[in-house]
Amino acid sequence: SSAYKKTYGNRVSNFSNPTAKLILETMERKKSNLAVSVDVTDANDLLAIIEAVAPYHSHELFFKTHIDIIQNFDFSLIEKLQHLSQKYDFVYFEDRKFADIGNTVALQYSSGVYKIASWSHLTNAHPVPGLSIIKGLSSVGLPLGRGLLLLAEMSTKGSLAVGTYTEEAVRMARQNRDFVIGFIAQKRMDGVGSSEEEDTSDEDFLILTPGIGLDAKGDSMGQQYRTPREAIFGSGCDIIIVGRGIYGTDSKAVDTIAAQAERYMAEGWAAYLARINN
C-alpha cells in the first residue's frame, strides 16, 4: 500500500484526528516508533521506569499503561504522568480494551476512578459489540481530540480475532475515520475487507503492534514475539509496543532499562528506514 512507503511526516495529512497527527509528528520529530508498555503494579515503579527511559534518550514515543493494575493509585499519579508527558514530549496510550455497549463504555471512559479520557491521548476497544462501542467512546473522546484503536488482531496463540472478524473491524474503522485512527494488529490493514467499488488505494491506518521481543520467542501464557524488523519492515506495522523486553521480569537497574529501550528504538527505526528506502 502507499502508506507503507511514505514517511511518517508525510502521512500527517492523511488524518483529520488531532491525536493521529500528534503521533505522526512526534514520530518524525523524535525519530522513534517505539511504544514502551509498562505493566507494573506500583505507581512508584511506573514513574521510575518512565524516568529511567525518557530523559536519557528522549526517543520514546508512547508509554502504554494498564492503569487499573496500579495498587496504590490516586489521582495525583495522573498529574505526575501529565507532567512527565509534557516534560519529555511523549504520548499516553491507556490500553483499556473497552468491550461493552456504547452507553457503558462512555461512562467507563469518562468517569470512575481513572477518568481515562481526561488524560490518555489514545485508548483502544474490542470491536465485538459493533458500531455501538465507537458511538459511545467517540461521544466522550472526539470533543477532547482523543483517538481510538480497534483490536483487529491479537498477538496471542489461538486468538479468535482473525478472518472476517478482522475484516469487520476494519470496516467499522473505515466508517469512523474522525475518531478511529488505526488498529492493534499484526500487519497493515489498508484496504482489508473493502468492496470492489470502494477505492482504498490512499487509505491509511496507524498500526500499533504488540508481541515484540529480541531475546525471547514468547512467555508461558501464550504471548508470541517477533522482532521489530519483522513487524515494521516485514508486516508494515508502524509502531512497536515493547514491555518486558525493556523493563524485564524482575526489577532492573535504570541503566539496563535505558539501554534496552535504546536497543529496541534503534531496531525499530532502522526497520522503518529500510522500509521507506527500499
Euclidean distance between CA atoms 56 and 155, whole angstroms: 30
Instruction: Compare residues 27 and 152 and give the one whose CB is closer to ligand 5IU.
Output: 152
Instruction: Cell numbers for 75, please give them.
Output: 489521582
The catalytic position among 80, 97, 115, 252 is 97
Using the rule CB under 6 A, give the single segment among 75-83, 150-158, 192-200, 263-271 that binds ligand 5IU: 150-158
Residue 228 binds to ligand 5IU (criterion: CB under 6 A): no
Site string for ligand 5IU, 154-193 (x = CB under 6 A): xxx---------------------------x---------
Find, among 267, 258, 225, the residue nearest to 55 by Cα: 258
- Contact status: 151 vs ligand 5IU (CB under 6 A): yes
Stated length of the chain: 278
The DSSP call for residue 14 is: G
Spell out the SS3 assignment of 133-175: HHHHHHHHHHHHCCEEEEECCCCCCCCCCCHHHHHHHHHHHHC
* In the complex, residue closest to ligand 5IU by CB: 243
Q: Is 97 a catalytic residue?
A: yes
Cell 488505494 appears where?
201
Gap between the Cα atoms of 146 and 181, Å rounded: 10
Binds ligand 5IU (CB under 6 A): choice among 102, 129, 228, 243 = 243
Note whether 36 binds ligand 5IU by CB under 6 A. Answer: no
Q: Residue 104 or residue 224: which is nearer to ligand 5IU going by CB?
A: 224
Q: Which of 14, 26, 33, 37 binds ligand 5IU (CB under 6 A)?
A: 37
Nearest 10 degrees: Cα torsion 264, 235, 2, 6 = 10
Q: Which residues are catalytic?
A: 97
Q: List residues near ligand 5IU by CB under 6 A.
A: 37, 39, 95, 151, 154-156, 184, 210-211, 223, 241-245
